[in-house]
A = this chain, B = another copy of it.
Amino acid sequence: MNKLILTLFSIMASITSYAQSNEELSAKIIAMEKTALELWNNGNPSGYLDISAKDVVYFDPFIEQRLDGLDKLTALYESIRGKVYVDKYEMTNPFVQSVKDMAVLTFNLNSYVGTTVQKWNCTEVYRLESDGTWKIIQTHWSLTKPELNIKFVE
C-alpha cells in the first residue's frame, strides 16, 4: 500500500512539475527562438541546429520536398553558413499553443537587409525531451504572399 501511495505522489509531483503555466512556457520558447534567429541573422546556423531534434522535419521555400532528419538539415545549413546576414528583424505576434510536452510557436517575421524587407510565415513545433530540454521537431518557413515578396522599404 505504501508503494501505491508513493507511486501516486510521484505521479502527482511529476504532473505538478510539468504544469508550467502556458505563459512561462511561451516566454521560454519565444526566447529560444529569438536566440537562434539572432545567430542565424549573423550567418550562424548553429543556434537552430543545437536546438533541433534528431527527427526534425523541415520546409522552406527553396527545397523540392520536406527534408527529414537533423543530418540533412545540418548539411543544408552548413552549406549556407556565413552567407545569410539580416540587419534588423521584427517578430510579429508570436503565439504559443501547448500541451505538457509539446508547444507550437507561430509568428510572422520581417527581415530587413539594406533597403529591402522580406516577409515570412513561420511555424516551429518544440517537444519536451526526456532530458528535460525542449527541441524543435518541425520547422516550416514560407514567404508571406510570395508573388509580392521582396518589398523595398519606404
Contacts and interface: CB of A to CB of B under 8 A. Distances in A.
Interface of A: 1, 4-5, 7-8, 11, 55, 57, 59, 61-66, 68, 92-93, 95, 97, 99-102, 104, 106-108, 121, 123, 125, 127, 137-138, 140, 142-147
A97 to B, nearest CB: 5
A135 to B, nearest CB: 11
Contacts of A147: 146
Contact of A127 (B61, B68, B93, B99): B99
Contacts of A102: 99, 102, 104
B146 A125 contact: no
Chain B CB within 10 Å — which of A57, A101, A106 has the most? A106
A148 to B, nearest CB: 9
A117 to B, nearest CB: 13
